[in-house]
């Protein structure tokens, strides 16, 4: 199986930013919290090279 030699730093950064935005959104607009859940989950999966 071939593995690409790519850096996942970009995805970890995007995960951290999207997690912070999601938590801030949860504090101010909790009724719309579910709208931002896919972003940190997607970036976490990409950073862990599962997708």
Q: Structure pTM? A: 0.81
- The predicted-structure confidence for 2-12, as pLDDT tens digits, reads as follows 566 678 899 99
In the prediction, which pLDDT does 19 show?
A: 95
- The predicted-structure confidence for 31-44, as pLDDT tens digits, reads as follows 988 898 999 999 99
DSSP 1-51: --------HHHHHHHHHHHHHHHHHHHH-GGGGGGGTHHHHHHHHHHTT--
pLDDT above 90 as % of the chain: 71
Q: What is the mean pLDDT of the chain?
A: 89
């Amino acid at each position: 199986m071939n593995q690409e030699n790519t850096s996942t730093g970009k995805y970890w950064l995007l995960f951290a930013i999207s997690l912070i935005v999601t938590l801030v959104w949860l504090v101010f607009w909790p009724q719309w919290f579910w709208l931002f859940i896919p972003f940190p989950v997607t970036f976490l999966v990409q950073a862990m090279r599962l997708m």
